Amino acid sequence: MEYVIEMLNIRKEFNGFVANDNITLQVKKGEIHALLGENGAGKSTLMNVLFGLYQPEQGEIRVKEKPVKISNPNIANDLGIGMVHQHFMLVDVFTVTENIILGKEITSAGRIDLKKAEREVREISERYGLAVDPKAKISDISVGMQQRVEILKTLYRGAEILIFDEPTAVLTPQEIKELIQIMKTLIKEGKSIILITHKLKEIMEVADRCTVIRKGQGIGTVNVSETNQNELASLMVGRQVVFKTEKIPSNPKEEVLKIENLVVKDSRGITAVNGLDLTVRAGEIVGIAGVDGNGQSEFIEAITGLRKSEHGSVKVRGKELLGLNPRKINESGVGHIPQDRHKHGLVLNYPIGENMVLQTYYKKPLSKNGILNFKEIYNKARKLISEFDVRTPSEFTLARALSGGNQQKAIIGREVDRNPDLLIAAQPTRGLDVGAIEFIHKRLIEQRDNGKAVLLVSFELDEIMNVSDRIAVIFEGRIVAVVDPKDTTEQELGLLMAGSSRKEAGESTHV
Amino acid sequence: MSKRLRNILVPIIAILLGIIVGTIIMVASGYDAVAAYTALWNGAFGNIYYTGEVVRQVTPYILAGLAVAFAFRVGLFNIGVEGQFMVGWLASVWVGLAFHLPKFIHLPLAILASIIAGALWAFIPGLLKARFRIHEVIVTIMMNYVALYVTNYIIQHVITNNADRTPSIPDSASLRSPWLASITDFSRLHWGIVLAIICCFIMWFLLEKTTRGFELRAVGFNQHAAHYAGMSVNKNIILSMVISGAFAGLAGAMEGLGTFGYVATKAAFTGVGFNGIAVALLGANTALGVFFAALLFGALEVGALNMPLAAGVPNELVDIIIALIVFFVASSYLIRWFIERISKKGVK
């Protein structure tokens, strides 16, 4: 049995905190090896050890059965290890080729030989079926394409072992399919892949074997063909995980949110929301299904006051929201879990405790006569932190230092605590592990059961199907269909999301 | 290593490095480094007159440093402190000359004039930034030149008839006090230092303890989140520039009502506003930090005057040594990086 990479009994500590404890990872040549673990389980630390960014306190790394010491990323590169980062490291204004050769420029007489470089890039691109245009500018190509450029970059540097760090987090379903195809091609061409992820579905689909780590400990390695999603999930979390969220049937009451003929332009001035109508009633969760870029972000930003609308009407309990600023909308009973928690949801350099009062700091008893009452603020923060199981060393820890799941729990705690009539959740589980997803879904349903209206926007069909009481499909800025999750299928939704009418969609799935 | 300890250690190392390199240069060019530094120290703290002068010099530096730091905490780079300082100086002297009032009205009025002038001068770039997203650095640089030439014009053609300086302000508008002068052997020390210390406290209290400060800092860290949370980003941007300019204008009154008692036309910038940038950086944009950083700058500036006299070090070399200390202080990022590397190695 030939291993290309062996990490044996790796231990890595940070100031007394054990991030990796006795983890063993063995990757065979020509396999896709998944590395599975919750957020903060130590996946990234382990990969950074392999990539030479951290030095392990204990353990041994072998590449092709030879013990090696990887003290910096250049050595990792020389050993044929390449990393496709989750956040791309590309220069926007450079072309694909310029990005790829960056740091490894081919020169003749001091000048970059761009022609030759382009030829080489094209060659590699064709060999692995990447279909990348070497002359395109990074800012002009899609996110999926940019990721391929990252892959090309590692291949250009002669990588034999590619590490993919959460590669599907930023991709559309179609792009995910293509990426999986590319990974399979890479394997055929003799490369080996380490896939860092917490998406079980993808592991089942592409990986050959899977190593699970939990809280810094190596749990074990399983053959994917001999396991299933449930087993992987419980290995990862350490307990049984319920995928199908339990919920009682909804009992919708009066209308809370009523949107009529909403028109919103995006930042480039192009109409993104184009005459959207939607109603959400008290005691129900309405899920907005759609492919990214069909106006979801602009739609949410418009009703929460972050973006101007052209015309239309958005009423919450009969009160018109359009034209109001975000503070007035907050005070009108709207809670908003924003899509981008780092951009909108949190002030990362504020303690997590102060983030808990981001919209309410000016109210009594949190402040009086313009003076903040930190005792009250932190009392409230402590209460929410324990109630919503936000794992943080203390309420004074900067929000920046928390893991994504805990940041999200903090935001949800804050929004739910304001007790809004309408809770808007935009991609609330993006990038989170199954444990956190389960928790968040439960909380959303709890809100519904308490008679609140919940509007859920998600690109994950599973989530939409699972949590919603009604599903509204958005396509090109309009709600094109409203369906009951009980009598639809993922396939039908997929077609509706692609712009087919309900009738066509029905015919092609049911016939 | 704790963050607090590092924040104290970094400037100290910077100062030591400046002294060491300064020593090397002096020794290499044949001067007595020990004598030079002794002269520097004595020039700042050797007798009560010098100390009075140091405190006098520190006063506008504190306020200019606060001005830069305040805007910086809200994410704005106010390069225009120099200009706001000049208009504040002019306004204080103008009010000082224009009225004849009892001191308890005249002095506060003149001080208020400097604050309003500085605030208005900073309001313009704040408004342009908030309304049209015009970068405050460019606007404030240009406003510095406008301030320089407009104040010169007003001094020559409005307040006086073609003179290069205004008459001195009457006693009723002056910050000077015979008592302060007498206890410091007739230095130009004035009451302004009390105002500067109060301003340090105001900045700390406003930013750290009030809801307004909560908003201002939130805007400084993350405008999008502040907007999402219902704070008015534009209002806070303008407000931060206005408060910053108010500090800068008050710094001008320190010169106009305290040190000089008049305002003269200038061929070039005074440098107080620009030193304020260095003071704010060295003080890590906190009120307490700014206070200590201003103390250092003031002491260096005043103490250096003694170096040519007492140690025979030429003026140019004194400037180089001062610049070196400032250089190492400003490049504290390098030192920070170095400490981090060393402490990392330590753990391993």
Is the pLDDT score of A234 beyond 60? yes
Contact A372 B211 (CB under 8 A): yes
Tens of pLDDT, residues A41-58: 788 889 889 988 888 988
Question: What percent of chain A is predicted at pLDDT more than 90?
Answer: 50
Residues of A in contact with B217 (CB under 8 A): 350
Asked if this assembly's ipTM is beyond 0.90, the reply is: no
> Mean pLDDT, to the nearest integer, of A469-483?
92
Residues contacting A160, CB < 8 A, separation 6+: A4, A80, A81, A190, A191, A192
pLDDT score at B348: 39
Q: Which of B222, B230, B348 is the closest to A347 by Cβ?
A: B222
Partners of B227 on chain A (C-beta within 8 Å) are 306, 326, 344
Examine residue B274 and state whether it is found in any structural domain, yes or no: yes
Q: Which two tokens stand for residue B38?
A: 């002794």
Query: Residue B276 in contact with residue B282, Cβ under 8 Å?
Result: no
Determine, for residues B222 and A348 on separate chains, whether the beta-carbon distance falls below 8 Å. Answer: yes
Q: Which one is predicted more confidently, A402 or B122?
A: B122
Residue B171 forms part of a structural domain: yes
User: Does a structural domain hold residue B214?
Assistant: yes
Residue B311 lies in a domain: no
Task: Among A15, A330, A343, select the one facing B230 at the smallest CB separation.
Answer: A330
Interface contacts (A, B; CB < 8 Å): 66
Q: Do B227 and A336 touch (CB under 8 A)?
A: no
pLDDT at residue A263, rounded to an integer: 95
pLDDT tens digit sequence for B310-342 = 888 887 877 787 788 778 877 776 777 777 777
What span, in angstroms and rounded, lies between the C-alpha atoms of B115 and B252?
Answer: 9
pLDDT given at position B85? 97
**Do the domain assignments include residue B7?**
no
Residue B15 within any structural domain of the chain: no
The predicted-structure confidence for A177-189, as pLDDT tens digits, reads as follows 889 999 999 999 8
Indicate whether B26 belongs to any domain: no
Write the residue in B212, B222, B228 that is nearest to A370 by C-beta: B212
Closest to B248 (Cα-Cα) out of B330, B143, B150, B176: B143
Number of structural domains, chain B? 1
Count of CB atoms situated within 10 Å of the CB of A254: 11
Across the beta sheet with A422-426, the strand order is A334-337, A422-426, A453-458, A284-289, A470-475, A478-483
- Domain containing B63 equals 58-289
pLDDT for B324 equals 83
**Partner-chain contact A326 B225, CB within 8 Å:** no
pLDDT of residue A511: 40
Nearest CA in chain A to B231: A327
Residue among A306, A336, A349 minimizing CB distance to B221: A349
Q: Which residues of A touch B229 (CB under 8 A)?
A: 326, 330, 358-359
B278 closest CA partner among B250, B252, B301: B301
Chain B residues in contact with chain A using a Cβ-Cβ cutoff of 8 Å:
209-214, 217-218, 221-222, 224-232, 347-348
> 3-state SS string over B40-67?
HHHHHHHCHHHHHHHHHHHHHHHHHHHH
pLDDT score for B347: 45
The confidence band for A294, taking pLDDT boundaries of 50, 70 and 90, is confident
pLDDT, average across residues A433-452: 89
Query: A327 vs chain B: nearest CA distance in angstroms?
Result: 4
Domain contains B10: no
Tell whether the model's pLDDT for residue B251 goes beyond 90. Answer: yes
Three-state secondary structure string covering A163-195: EEECCCCCCCHHHHHHHHHHHHHHHHCCCEEEE
Q: What is the mean pLDDT of residues A187-215?
A: 89
**Which chain B residues are within 8 Å of A55, Cβ to Cβ?**
348
Query: How many Cβ atoms sit within 10 Å of the Cβ of residue A235?
Result: 18
For A341, the closest chain B residue by CA position comes to B225
- Candidate from A325, A329, A347 with C-beta closest to B225: A347
